[in-house]
């Protein structure tokens, strides 16, 4: 099986072109091939295939299916879809620009920035954020939207084995905000990101009972209204260098909590993304690079 390793500011996946080959059990393959010691290594597996007939009728020319490193299928990946567009264009699956891509949250429109005949950057219309708690979903009684909602009696982070010292040293604020970009996100703000024990707090919050479909966890530090830094524990993959849907959710959360502008430069461990929550159409637009690293063959047995 031929594969290509790609990344969007360090959020790396193994991409398989299934226009010309088949993958029978992608969930099992994702676990094996994404292993950083015994496989190729990555945050998961992404299949690039022809769109379904209904999606093609909406203008889609390519389809993305995404599987996390634990084998679970996710709805969407902002960094991943940029790489799908780059692969499809650079490998001549389509010359469409703008390009319509079928994802688990619907058909998205991507504008390609071409340099020397190759895709260098991509702007993705990530669609409209979902704010209704039951649709994210978040299970909180009598709560319509989770915006600046106190987390202490809900998440009870003080009760973790890590203790509560980090909460004070990180300057963790007392509220959380939840947003869905087709997949669920929770955003918490702090003053010192480096003090957050993400490897311990992340999995605890991800699997907390109030999140029935689990959740992507983001800790955010605001530098100014137009710039933030964030760290992510990604559902099903763990700590990642970047999270595109997460950056979009953080952009929305910043506006809702009046911490940031609608246009914000987002710093992630792997690089920078430019985000805009457009007031005219209520959609979030994300611009960032897409990089091909190498290709190879994976034994099919």
Residues with a known catalytic role: 77, 243
Portion of the chain with pLDDT greater than 70, in percent: 99
Task: Please count the CA atoms within 13 angstroms of the CA of 136 that sit on its side-chain side.
Answer: 26
The 10s digit of each residue's pLDDT in 135-165 is 999 999 999 999 999 999 899 888 786 667 8
Q: Which CATH superfamily is domain 2-124+288-297 in?
A: Diaminopimelate Epimerase; Chain A, domain 1 (3.10.310.10)
The 10s digit of each residue's pLDDT in 184-233 is 999 999 999 999 999 999 999 999 999 999 999 999 999 999 999 999 99
- Predicted local distance difference test score (pLDDT) of residue 204: 96
For the entire predicted model, the pTM comes to: 0.92
- Predicted local distance difference test score (pLDDT) of residue 164: 74
Q: What is the CATH number of domain 133-282?
A: 3.10.310.10
Domain boundaries, the chain: 2-124+288-297, 133-282
SS (H, E, C) 186-247: EEEECCCHHHCCHHHHHHHHHCCCCCCCCCEEEEEEEEECCEEEEEEEECCCEEECCCHHHH
């Amino acid at each position: 099986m031929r594969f290509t390793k790609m990344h969007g500011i360090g959020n790396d996946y193994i991409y398989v072109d299934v226009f010309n080959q088949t993958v029978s059990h992608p969930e099992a393959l994702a676990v094996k091939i994404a292993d950083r010691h015994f496989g190729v290594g990555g945050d998961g597996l992404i299949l690039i295939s022809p769109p379904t007939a209904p999606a093609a009728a909406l203008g889609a020319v390519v389809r993305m299916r995404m599987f996390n490193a634990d084998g679970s299928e996710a709805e969407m990946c902002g960094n991943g879809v940029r790489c799908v567009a780059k692969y499809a264009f650079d490998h001549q699956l389509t010359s469409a620009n703008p390009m319509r891509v079928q994802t688990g949250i619907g058909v998205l429109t991507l504008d390609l920035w071409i340099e020397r005949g190759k895709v260098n950057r991509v702007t993705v219309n990530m669609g409209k954020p979902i704010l209704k708690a039951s649709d994210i979903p978040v299970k909180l009684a009598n709560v319509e939207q989770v915006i600046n909602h106190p987390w202490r009696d809900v998440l009870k982070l003080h009760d973790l084995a890590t203790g509560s010292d980090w909460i004070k040293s990180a300057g963790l604020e007392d509220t959380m905000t939840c947003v869905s970009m087709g997949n669920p996100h929770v955003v918490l703000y702090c003053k010192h990101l480096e003090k957050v024990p993400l490897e311990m707090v992340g999995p605890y919050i991800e699997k907390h009972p109030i999140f029935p479909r689990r959740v992507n966890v983001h800790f955010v530090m605001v530098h100014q209204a137009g710039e933030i830094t964030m760290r992510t524990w990604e559902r099903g993959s763990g700590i990642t260098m970047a999270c595109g849907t997460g950056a979009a959710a953080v952009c929305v959360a910043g506006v809702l909590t009046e911490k940031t502008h609608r246009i914000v430069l987002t710093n992630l461990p792997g690089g920078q993304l430019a985000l805009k929550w457009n007031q005219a159409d209520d959609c979030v637009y994300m611009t960032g690079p897409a990089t091909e690293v190498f290709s190879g063959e994976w034994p099919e047995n």
